[in-house]
Amino acid sequence: MGSSRDIWEAIELLEGLRLLDREEKILSWRFEAARAIENADRMGRAIVFRADCCPGIDVVSNLIPSRAVLMKYLGVGGDEELYRRLVEAMDNPIPCREDIFSDYYVEDRRTLYELPALHFYEGDAGRYFTSSIFIAKDPDGEIYNASIHRILVRGEMEGPARLVPRHLRRIVGAHRSKGLETPVAVCFSPHPVVFLAAALQPRYGVFEMEVANRLLNGGLRLCRTPIYNLPVPCSCSHVLEGRITLRDVEEGPFADALLTYDRVRMEPLVVFDRIYRSRDAKPFHTVLAGRTEHTILMGIGKEADIYYSVSRVVRRVHRVRLTRASGGWLHAIISIEKGAEGESKNAILAAFAAHPSLKMVTVVDSDIDIDSPEEVEWAIATRLQASRGLVIIRGARLSSLDPSAQDGIGDKLGIDATVPVGERARFRRARIP
C-alpha cells in the first residue's frame, strides 16, 4: 500500500496555523451543525464536529477558509503563480498510479441517513451531501470525469443529484441514449487539492483526478471500485458505488452560492448499491453553500480563465477577483495597467468571453486594492463617468443561479473605473507618509 496525500495532511496544516476548532458537543444535523460551520467561517477557521445522525463520524468543514490556506496547500506564493499552476495542470495532467481498493476501504453497512447529510438552510428541501465528487466513464471510450454535485437524500440508499449541463450531464445523456443507467462512484473527503481539481472545468476528455495528480506533484493514487471498476482516490473517507438511473425526480429547493434558493428541478435519481469507509476513519468533509470555501472553489478556476483572457488585450493584468457576495461567480473586479485608451473596454469584453456566467465586470487601475470594497467604490466614485465608462450588453445568456434572469436571459454590465492615460496625477489618492 503506497502513500497518497490526504485530508489528514490538510488538518495537520490547519492545526499548525492554529486555524482549526473542535466542537465537543454533538450537534443536530438540522441547522445546528450548519450554524457552527457558519460561525467558524466568519472567523476564518475550519471546524471538526460530530452530528447526531452519525455520532461515530468526525465531520470537517471550511478546509479552505481563505485563499492564503489554498495557496499553502498548493505551495504557491501569489495569484499569478496560482493561476499558472491551475492552467498547467489542466493542460498537462499526470496519470495516477493505481493500488488495490481493499487495502484502503472496507464495506460500511450504514445507510445514507447514517452519514453526515445535513439540513443547512431553513428553505432547503431536506438533508444534503454537498461535497460529493462523482466519477463516471463515457460509455463510448476511455474517458473519465470527476465533478462535484449535491445529493438530496430521499431514501436509505437513494436521492436525486443536481447535474448542471456540463460533462457529467453529457456522459449521462450518452448512457441514456442507449437505454443504460450510468455507473458512478461518489467520493468524499480527499485532500482539498483533489476537491479543487474536481471543481475545475478542463476540456472534455481530461480526467480531473489526473489534474489533481499534477497539482499534487504525483502524490495522488487511485484504486478501482469493486462493482463498477471506476477509479477513485485511495485517500477518501467514504466511497459510494451506484447508478444514475433513467428516472428523474424533484430536487430542490437548495440555498446555493448566492444564498438564494435554487429552484425545484427534475433531476436524475441516483441509487447506491454499496457504501465503503476508509480503514483509518478519515473525517467526512462537508461544505456550507455560499460561504468562503464554496465561493473560492466555485471561482478560482474561472479567475484563471479571466486573467489569461484579459492578459491578451491589455498591457498588464495585476489581479482578478470573483467577489464573494456574487457567489464567487457573477461579479469580477480586475485591476490592470493600461497601455492605451480603450484597453479597459477590451478587458471587460475579454472577461465576459472567458466566463459567460459573469453579470458585471469592474475594471480599476493597479493602485486600487480589489480586495477592498471601499477602495473599489472610491475608484468608481472618482474615476467613472457613466456616459463613457459603462458597457451594457442586453439580452445575454446569464447564469442559472441568477434569480433576476428571465428564462436565463438578462443584461451584463461593464464598469470602466480607470484613469485616462497620462492623467494619473489628477486622480492620485491622498496618503499619509
Phi, psi at 262, each rounded to 5°: -65, 140
Strands 46-51 and 20-27: parallel
The DSSP 8-state label assigned to residue 424 in this structure reads G
Report how far residue 391's alpha carbon sits from residue 406's, in angstroms, rounded to the nearest whole number: 20
* DSSP state string for 22-46: EEEEEEPTBTHHHHHHHHHHHTT-E
CB-facing half-sphere around the CA of 215: CA atoms within 13 A: 31
The x, y and z cell numbers of residue 211, run together, are: 489534474
Active site residues per annotation: 256
Q: Are 31 and 247 in contact (CB under 8 A)?
A: no
Candidates 61, 207, 202, 74; CA nearest to 120 is 61
**Cell match 457576495: residue?**
325
Residue 37: burial class (beta carbons within 10 Å; 0-12, 13-18, 19+): buried
Find out whether 153 and 113 touch, Cβ atoms under 8 Å. yes
* Cα 227 from Cα 243, distance rounded (Å): 11
> What residues contact residue 165 under an 8 Å CB cut-off, 6+ apart?
none
Distances (CA, A) of 425 to 212, 378, 429: 46, 16, 9
Give 304's Cβ-side CA count (13 Å radius).
21
3-state secondary structure at position 147: strand
| Sequence letter at residue 56 | G
Q: Which amino acid type is present at position 357?
A: S
Give the DSSP H or E segment for 7. helix 7-16
- Torsion angle of the four alpha carbons 51, 326, 63, 168, in this order, in degrees rounded to the nearest 10: 80
Give me 342's grid cell: 480603450
C-beta atoms surrounding 395 within 10 Å:
9
Q: For residue 347, report the phi and psi dihedrals to the nearest 5 degrees.
A: -60, -40
